[in-house]
Amino acid sequence: MTIRLYDTNARQIRDFTPLVPGCVSIYLCGATVQAAPHIGHIRSGLNFDIMRRWFEYRGYDVTFIRNVTDIDDKIIAKSADQGRPWWAIGYENERAFDDGYTALGCLPPTYEPRATGHVPEMIEMMRRLIERGHAYEADGNVYFDVRSYPDYLELSNQELDNLRQPASEGETGKRDQRDFALWKSVKPGEPSWETPWGRGRPGWHLECSAMAHKYLGESFDIHGGGLDLIFPHHENEIAQAKAYGDDFAQYWVHNAWVTLSGEKMSKSLGNSVLVSEMVRHWRPIVLRYYLGTPHYRSMIEYSEEALREADQAFGRIEGFAQRVVELAGGAVEPSAEVPPAFAEAMDDDLGVPQALAVVHTTVRQGNSALAADDKEAAVARLAEVRAMLGVLGLDPLAPHWSGGAEKGEDLHGVVDTLVRLVLDQRESARGRKDWATADAIRDRLNQSGLAIEDGAQGPRWTLKS
């Protein structure tokens, strides 16, 4: 068994070899909390949640760090525009991200550090970079000297002579306009922290290098994030960390975007679809299916039609699971192992589309067993399906989605009893060939949001999507 991952830095799929046998360390660039999350933000969290789940299934002990950038130019600008404290805006949106991750079934990270909680680590990193000749102070700012690091731009494969480094207002005193800010000098009305070079606030890139070092040490296995972070963010992280003396990440893994009309979904373009709105119109498990089942390196073009297709596809899986549970008369536990074809697909750069094809094939086999009244085979297929869906975070019978022993499950039992009484009345009407009454009962149930399906074991009901 060898897991293989596409490494952006190597520009090829590589066998994964952990630094520490049996352990995997992952740093994911998380939320910049200037606004509530759209589905493009949450896609990254989902993709790396599936990665983490697969490593854990394969027996690895996973340390998963997902940071929160709670101070940056955009948060400060929003604070000024809205007349609200920067920390209030940051915390409000941090909670919105947490709600989105939880709603879509993402496992909580091992640690979720905030940038503002790690200023001492940033100061220490800057001090050593200055001592080593890789950084310098100017007008209260601290800059990284990109020419001091020979491998700069190796990740993004750019030429230094053609580089235009993004910069913000107040970045004065640079020796070279391509140098980037580690620390920004204080400005009136902005938050600031004391340093040996004066008061100011951290640059975005420095935050992640300092937090990765604190929680994962000088070297760790995987650094993840969206494609848009390759430059400048990840390129600058590498320069800082390696110039500081760290080996840093061994593998660089990037997920693709969610696009709308061919453009990357973003707040600045005004084409974002907020998670909080999406979960009002679509069940969160369907949204997870839609965002999590394409390959992580493939773009997703958002459309209502694609979401409806995802809803229908997942509905077929869910319907099969419900029918088998009813037939079995109780819980069907997941298999201890996933089918070999599923494992082979997941080992090959997290090939979720190919793995999902195995799920649907197994569902079809299970439906054939149900049609043949082969209870044993149907139960066996559901056990395999649950094992596979568990890896993808999509098992509809798992406590997160089914509600476990919470009130929702109790209410389901009450509703089931009441609906069964009505269905019994419908069956009686059908038995005496009173088709008008039977159809009227079915129509009223449909109007109330219930779908009625007649099968060999009698009628069954489900909530309409």
pTM above 0.85, yes or no: yes
Question: Which pLDDT score is estimated for 207?
Answer: 97
Place of tokens 């009345």: 425
Complete DSSP assignment for 273-301? -BHHHHHHHS-HHHHHHHHHSS-TTS-EE
Tell me what the mean pLDDT of segment 413-427 comes to: 70
Whether residue 22 contacts residue 60, with contact meaning beta carbons closer than 8 Å, is answered with yes
**Digit-coded pLDDT (tens) for 243-300:** 999 999 999 999 999 998 788 887 666 667 999 999 999 999 999 999 999 999 999 9
Beta bridge partners of 159: none
Place of tokens 């779908």: 451
**Digit-coded pLDDT (tens) for 55-109:** 999 999 999 999 999 999 999 999 999 999 999 999 999 999 999 999 999 999 9
Question: Which pLDDT score is estimated for 402?
Answer: 85
State the Cα–Cα distance between residues 102 and 284, nearest whole angstrom: 10
Whether residue 174 contacts residue 138, with contact meaning beta carbons closer than 8 Å, is answered with yes
**CB 228: neighbour CB atoms within 10 A?**
14
**Digit-coded pLDDT (tens) for 197-230:** 999 999 999 999 999 999 999 999 999 999 999 9
**Digit-coded pLDDT (tens) for 300-330:** 999 999 999 999 999 999 999 999 999 998 8
Query: 352 pLDDT exceeds 90?
Result: yes
Question: Which pLDDT score is estimated for 416?
Answer: 64
